[in-house]
């Protein structure tokens, strides 16, 4: 999430897909988009993120077919790329029993006061920190090697189909030492010392029936976002519904009860308004029976709350009215910070959709891309 | 020893064939990484294991143990399996 802004400026969409990355440069009105790509054609790109502190450094988390994972870095907004010197890798364990990073899944720039600091979440679950702009990465042993955290992570068998993940690394804009992260599976966790230690933050959340709600192992947060307009407020899309937490409280509150029963409150992405903490958006999916993970009924729709989750309204103008069976992954929906907030989502069928009026109307700005894994907004002040 | 590089890794070497030496295959891989920074981690993970779809053949025979001695006159062929769509 970029810092809130009061005036319109250029918006670029950073689109990471199963087979490469694309940049879509918008005009001032966000009506026409100039395509730049593919970058890294054939590479699996899990996340492509701008460093908002310099407005030009991009990091791309890549995996290539059956080659090991790496990270590519650009210091000129994607014109040139170099592979980083030391991508995230777990500490070597004696006896060959150690874990290996399958792919870096999530990238988060550090606090505004700490230029050069980045955090990365991996599959299987691992937390990594860079202090040199993403060139080299060190494992955070408080998570990666801690016996209790390893137990909560479970095994690869316990994870999501594409591997268990550490994601939703959130830095408190008021305090660089205060951060949150989430694991699928393994729950939500909080640190007050810049990642040197963590503690679970799962009170009030639900788990699948029959499992122990007090054991972080069984918690599956899908996406967590902090409200820039009120950093004490967090929204969460969880495997078991929608939740909100207002600090300093430590108990999450279920806020999905206002969703239509035929739609439910299961999904992956969670998007917050850049200024108004009462406004948030979700993209529900079919989480019934065998979890089809499609738009419910084949009718895609965004849902918005304007009152912190008490009520939700459907926003589908412009989206397909029927027989559209795609969905949106947890990193593939985001908002810009323009005066009239733009929303963007990328689909599992390779379509890129945009709204320039806070979700009221949608238009498709790209089709036929590979399966979209992540969409981020870049709003560089000067490029 | 002579090392044959698969297509997916030629962005590092710019050629299909190169030379690297060491007492063991692990040292040969490390020598490759000195010449072509980053190439080793794409083939061998942080625990020293050859990645799942990477195969090493030495003089025509599959090799799974990077601790095996390397023959300076031998030939290492690195193969990347492909599957899926």
Sheet holding A253-254, edge to edge: A221-227, A230-238, A241-246, A253-254
The answer to whether the Cβ–Cβ distance between B54 and A67 falls below 8 Å is: yes
Q: What do you get for the CA distance between the two ends of chain B, in Å?
A: 34
Quick one: pLDDT at residue A1?
A: 47
Q: How confident is the model at residue A9 (pLDDT cuts 50, 70, 90)?
A: confident
Q: How far is CA B74 from CA A109, A171, B8, B48, in A?
A: 46, 52, 23, 22
In-domain check, residue A2: no
Was domain B2-80 assigned CATH 3.10.20.30? yes
Q: Which residues contact A228 (CB under 8 A, 6 or more apart)?
A: A1, A3, A4, A173, A272, A274, A275, A337
- A67, A100, A101 member nearest B49 (Cβ): A100
| Inter-chain CB proximity B46 and A65 less than 8 Å | no
Q: Please give the Cα distance from A287 to A121 (Å, whole number).
A: 25
The residue extents of the domains of chain B are: 2-80
Amino acid A380: pLDDT: 74
- Whether residue A95 lies within 8 A of chain B, CB to CB, comes out as no
Specify the CATH number for the domain of residue A139: 2.130.10.10
What is the 8-class DSSP label of residue A159? Answer: S
User: What digits encode the pLDDT tens for the residues A260-295?
Assistant: 999 999 999 999 999 999 999 999 999 888 888 899
- Determine, for residues B46 and A90 on separate chains, whether the beta-carbon distance falls below 8 Å: yes
Per-residue confidence (pLDDT) for residue A8, from 0 to 100: 66
Residue A313, min C-alpha distance to chain B (Å): 38
ipTM over 0.85: yes
Query: pTM of the entire structure?
Result: 0.95
* Residue matched to tokens 């023959």: B71
**Do A67 and B38 lie within an 8 Å CB cutoff?**
no
Q: Do B41 and A68 touch (CB under 8 A)?
A: yes
Q: Are A18 and A370 in contact (CB under 8 A)?
A: yes
Cβ contact (<8 Å) for A89 and B45? yes
In a domain, A156, yes or no: yes
Q: What is the pLDDT of residue A243?
A: 98
Nearest CA in chain B to A135: B38
Secondary structure class of B39 (helix, strand, coil): helix
Domains held by chain A: number: 1
Query: Tens digits of per-residue pLDDT, B19-67?
Result: 999 999 999 999 999 999 999 999 999 999 999 889 999 999 999 999 9
Evaluate if residue A24 carries a pLDDT over 60. yes
In a domain, A86, yes or no: yes
Contact B62, A45 (CB under 8 A): no
Sign of CA dihedral A86, A87, A93, A97: negative
- Beta-bridge partner residues of A253: A244
Q: A81 at the B interface (CB within 8 A)? A: no
> Hey, is the C-beta of B67 within 8 angstroms of any chain A C-beta?
no
Residue A380 C-alpha from the chain's centroid: 20
Q: How many residues does chain A have?
A: 383
Is A99 a residue whose pLDDT tops 80? yes
Q: Is it the case that residue A104 has pLDDT exceeding 80?
A: yes
Residue of B nearest to A96 (CA): B47
- Summarize pLDDT for A167-186 with one digit per residue, the tens: 999 999 999 999 999 999 99
- Using a CB–CB cutoff of 8 Å, tell me whether B64 touches chain A: no
Q: What is the residue range of A164's domain?
A: 12-378
Phi, psi of B7, deg, nearest 5: -55, -40
Residue-wise pLDDT tens digits, A227-237: 999 999 999 99
């Amino acid at each position: 999430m970029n810092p809130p802004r009061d005036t319109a400026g250029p918006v670029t969409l950073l689109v990471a897909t199963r087979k490469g990355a694309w940049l879509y440069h918008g005009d001032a009105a966000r009506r026409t988009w100039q395509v730049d790509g593919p970058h890294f054609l054939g590479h699996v790109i899990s996340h492509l993120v701008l460093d908002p502190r310099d407005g030009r450094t991009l990091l791309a988390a890549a995996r290539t077919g059956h080659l090991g994972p790496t990270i590519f870095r650009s210091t000129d907004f994607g014109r040139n790329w170099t592979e980083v010197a030391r991508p995230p890798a777990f500490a070597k364990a004696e006896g060959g029993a150690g874990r290996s990073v399958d792919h870096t899944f999530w990238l988060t720039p550090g606090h505004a006061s700490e230029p050069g600091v980045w955090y990365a979440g991996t599959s299987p679950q691992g937390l990594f920190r860079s202090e040199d702009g993403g060139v080299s990465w060190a494992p955070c042993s408080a998570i990666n090697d801690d016996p209790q955290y390893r137990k909560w992570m479970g095994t690869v068998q316990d994870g999501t189909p594409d591997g268990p993940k550490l994601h939703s690394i959130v830095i408190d804009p008021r305090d660089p030492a205060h951060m949150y992260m989430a694991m699928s599976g393994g729950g939500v966790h909080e640190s007050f010392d810049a990642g040197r230690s963590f503690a679970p933050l799962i009170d009030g959340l639900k788990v699948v029936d029959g499992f122990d709600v007090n054991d972080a192992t069984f918690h599956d947060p899908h996406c967590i976002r902090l409200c820039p307009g009120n950093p004490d407020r967090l929204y969460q899309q969880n495997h078991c519904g929608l939740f909100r937490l207002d600090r300093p409280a430590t108990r999450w509150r279920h806020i999905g009860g206002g969703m239509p029963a035929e739609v439910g409150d299961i999904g992956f992405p969670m998007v917050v308004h850049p200024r108004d903490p009462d406004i948030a958006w979700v993209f529900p999916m079919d989480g019934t029976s065998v979890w089809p993970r499609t738009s419910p009924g084949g009718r895609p729709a965004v849902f918005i709350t304007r009152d912190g989750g008490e009520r939700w309204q459907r926003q589908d103008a412009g989206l397909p009215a029927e027989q559209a069976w795609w969905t949106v992954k947890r990193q593939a929906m985001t908002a810009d910070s323009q005066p009239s907030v733009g929303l963007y989502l990328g689909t599992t069928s390779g379509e890129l959709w945009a709204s320039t009026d806070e979700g009221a109307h949608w238009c498709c700005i790209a089709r036929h891309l590979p399966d979209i894994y992540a969409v981020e907004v870049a709003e560089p002040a000067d490029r | 020893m002579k090392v044959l590089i698969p297509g997916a890794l030629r962005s590092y070497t710019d050629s299909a064939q190169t030379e690297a030496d060491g007492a063991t295959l692990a040292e040969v891989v490390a020598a490759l990484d000195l010449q072509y920074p980053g190439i080793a981690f794409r083939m061998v993970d942080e625990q020293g294991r050859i990645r799942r779809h990477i195969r090493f053949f030495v003089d025509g025979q599959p090799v799974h143990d990077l601790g095996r001695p390397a023959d300076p006159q031998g030939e290492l062929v690195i193969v990347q399996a492909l599957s899926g769509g």
